[in-house]
Structure 1
Amino acid sequence: MAGRLTFIDLFAGIGGTRLGFELAGGECVFSSEWDSNAQKTYNANFGETPAGDITKITSEQIPDHDILVAGFPCQPFSIAGVSKKNSLNRPHGFLDKTQGTLFFDVARIIRDKKPKAFLLENVKNLMTHDKGNTFRIILDTLRRDLGYNIYTSVIDARSVVPQHRERIFIIGFRDPVLFSFPVIKNRNPKLRDILDEKVDPKYTLSEHLWNYLQEYAERHRKKGNGFGFGLADPMGITRTLSARYYKDGSEILIPNGGCPRRLTPRECARLMGFPDSFKIIVSDTQAYKQFGNSVVVPVIRSLASAIIKTLEINDSDG
């Protein structure tokens, strides 16, 4: 088959999805990401600045491509995002006019460019959001309106990184194909494998914050609520790294003798499967947000390899 399969990287973030597809042999021909800090990190690592707001980009401005890749924004569908919107009496999901329609921009581009395949990624909660209506509308749009053959799977990244992180992946093919999700080999990763031995003291929690977190957790326990800081076991795995990690780091704390410490941005990068060669050029606050919003690179690489292999077999048969 002539040449590498091409892909476009929508809602690109810092490029975790691109990295996975490039490692699988794909060639990126277009990227889009509106957040200026994420654009800086993307540029530092890939030598190009993604185009901005996808809602303002016409299909004609996007080059032809074999595979469309998009991790459309989590917030309208994530549990944290939904509860926050509910408390503010703001609509969420597809009714949220600021972000909820971004899926439809993905659908618009699929309709106009007709890629051979696509990979969409989102939080697991997408499946149950609005009693399942959101997920049903997405699948109906892709299957009925756009005519793609759809495969879905929830994958927990804990087999390749020491983190419990479940995401829903929706893969579509324009033509009928034989496809099954790859079995991702369990590497049995342990948190200690990604930790640095010497870490700047600034990442250690102050006694005041550590005492506060313990008292806060105890109050919630007495009320029967589940809140608790996440003191991680170096021989085990962590909770899910979120974009809120920069606030106090309480969801993943590392035992440190005395007060525990936060993960460093580099350790967060490793927790998401990024190589140490990946450049971190933004502030710690931005870096935490960026990695918390990103994808687990080895999971994407496995899925990308399976998609590319399926397309190559299909093209040679055709």
Structure 2
Amino acid sequence: MPSYLEFFAGGGMVRAGLGGRWKCQFANDFDPLKVQVYADNWGEKEILEDDIHKVDAESLGRRVDLAWASFPCQDLSTAGNGLGLGNATGGSRTRSGTFWAFIDLMKDLKANNRLPRIVVLENVVGLLTINGGEEFKAVIAALDRLGMRAGAAVVDARHFVPQSRQRVFIVGVSKTAKVAETLVRDQPHPIWHPAPLVKAVGKLSGQCREQWIWLNLGAPPELKKTLNKIVKDRPVGVEWHTPAETKRLLGMMSDAHKQKLAEAKKSGKRMVGTLSLRMRPLSGKTVQRTEICFRGLAGCLRTPKGGGSRPRIVVVKGGNVRTRLLAPAEAAALMGLKPRYQLPEIYEYAFRVIGDGVAVPVVSFLRGKLLTPLLRSIKNPRSSEPSKLKRGARSPGERSRRDQLELRI
């Protein structure tokens, strides 16, 4: 059974996605709330509540197949402060710079011949562009110094659940590992490798570009469940707004959004949409506006910071319009969690766990399409097709079969 280490584990959504055929050997998070939720759902045996800087490589056990790190995004997101990863030596590390503590652990494991066969790093897509791509460049260079070559994919949870949630997943494997040819593409895929990723790869050092892998994830699945099926008429943990509050919210809409509401009423169907509060310019001032959307998707769930950031929904059926906050159970469903998953009863606490998590079906997809076959090809190179990985991330016109590099164990 494949084994793994889970850092910045939160409520264990990566564990949920990897499933029972992968064995968690160790998990870590420093937030007591998230550690408690992890323990409530998975038990206390593997989870350690502590700062990652204090985690000792000796306590991580035998060599594992995978190390997963969903390191903090606050200093890398477009809504953040742009501080980036900070200094690798620890002199000016940021919250997102706890990435370096993870790398330090991997260095210690490598020194003892226990470096995991695969490393997965997950974060917001802002990692690709912030500070002109320098943070992404630093991450790939760090993997390179570990003796790993890297590939990446941008995966939006909207392919799996009705939530728009883009994340970049970076996968590192040993430069001496043999990777099945079926897991590698000659060129970037327009969905998994969008322009920001291609541009970021183009800014890597020559050595890192030479080793880059365009991961082959195949075609994205077709979303079968819409927001309409997630949102319940009788929610648990939240109440419908009073008619007065609904009227107040709808009164803050612009004409364009009032027209969207009118069209939803006219359809006569049960229409579920998102309702957001935004600050918009109006007549030389900035005012709060209510904006609605009926595309069947929720916006990206985040940790709650204030009233305006809480996810709200609007349900329309004929002339009846109701509004309320999104319920914790509905948010959990939007992350692909099972109904039996235990969340804190306090609303803000539940969303603190959910907002920092990884969409479970995305992890499952990566497990099936990439991680399991990748591990199989690394461990059993004779049973997989020869890997002919490209020497470098070149433009399509520059690529040729003669440029492929066959890796050895």
CA contact (8 A) 1:246 1:289 kept: no
Paired amino acid for 1:231: I
CA contact (8 A) 2:85 2:94 kept: no
**Structure 1: stretches of 5+ with no match in the other structure:** 84-90
- Bigger Cα displacement from structure 2, 6-15 vs 250-259: 250-259
- Displacement of 1:213 in angstroms is 8.2
Task: Verify: 1:33 aligned to 2:29, yes or no.
Answer: yes
Q: 1:250 to 1:39 in 2, by over 3 A?
A: closer
- Displacement of 1:97 in angstroms is 2.7
Identify the match of residue 315 of structure 2 among 216, 241, 255.
255
Aligned mates of 2:376, 2:65 — CA distance in 1: 11
Residue 6 of structure 1 corresponds to 3
Paired amino acid for 2:18: F
Identify the match of residue 236 of structure 1 among 275, 296, 315.
296
Residue 311 of structure 1 corresponds to 375
Residue 18 of structure 1 corresponds to 15
- Displacement of 1:163 in angstroms is 0.9
- Displacement of 1:100 in angstroms is 3.5
Residue 131 of structure 1 corresponds to 132
Residue 182 of structure 1 corresponds to 217
CA contact (8 A) 1:229 1:251 kept: no
Paired amino acid for 1:163: Q
Aligned mates of 2:239, 2:35 — CA distance in 1: 26
Task: Verify: 1:110 aligned to 2:106, yes or no.
Answer: yes
Identify the match of residue 230 of structure 2 among 182, 194, 208.
194
Aligned mates of 1:287, 1:112 — CA distance in 2: 35
Give 1:1-150 correspondences, 5 Å limit.
4-23=1-20, 25-48=21-44, 50-51=47-48, 52-63=50-61, 64-82=63-81, 91-94=83-86, 97-113=93-109, 114-143=115-144, 145-150=145-150
Residue 277 of structure 1 corresponds to 340
Aligned mates of 1:277, 1:198 — CA distance in 2: 18
Q: 1:250 to 1:231 in 2, by over 3 A?
A: farther
Task: Verify: 1:211 aligned to 2:203, yes or no.
Answer: no
CA deviation string 1:120-146 (max 9, x = no partner): 100011111111111111111112x11
SS in structure 1 of the partner of residue 147 of structure 2: coil
Paired amino acid for 2:9: A
Q: 1:166 to 1:226 in 2, by over 3 A?
A: farther
Residue 173 of structure 1 corresponds to 173
Aligned mates of 2:346, 2:353 — CA distance in 1: 10
- Displacement of 1:248 in angstroms is 4.1
| Larger helix share, 1 or 2 | 1
Q: 1:104 to 1:19 in 2, by over 3 A?
A: same
Q: TM-score normalised to the size of structure 1?
A: 0.86
- Displacement of 1:252 in angstroms is 4.0
Percent identity of paired positions between Structure 1 and Structure 2: 25
Provide the aligned length of Structure 1 versus Structure 2: 305
CA contact (8 A) 2:6 2:24 kept: yes
SS in structure 2 of the partner of residue 60 of structure 1: helix
Q: 1:218 to 1:202 in 2, by over 3 A?
A: closer
SS in structure 2 of the partner of residue 172 of structure 1: strand
Aligned mates of 2:381, 2:130 — CA distance in 1: 39
Paired amino acid for 1:313: S
CA RMSD of the aligned region, Å? 2.7
SS in structure 1 of the partner of residue 76 of structure 2: coil
Q: 1:267 to 1:209 in 2, by over 3 A?
A: same
- Bigger Cα displacement from structure 2, 253-262 vs 209-218: 209-218
Q: 1:147 to 1:101 in 2, by over 3 A?
A: same
CA deviation string 1:176-225 (max 9, x = no partner): 41333423312243101212221258433454587368549687142698
Q: TM-score normalised to the size of structure 2?
A: 0.68
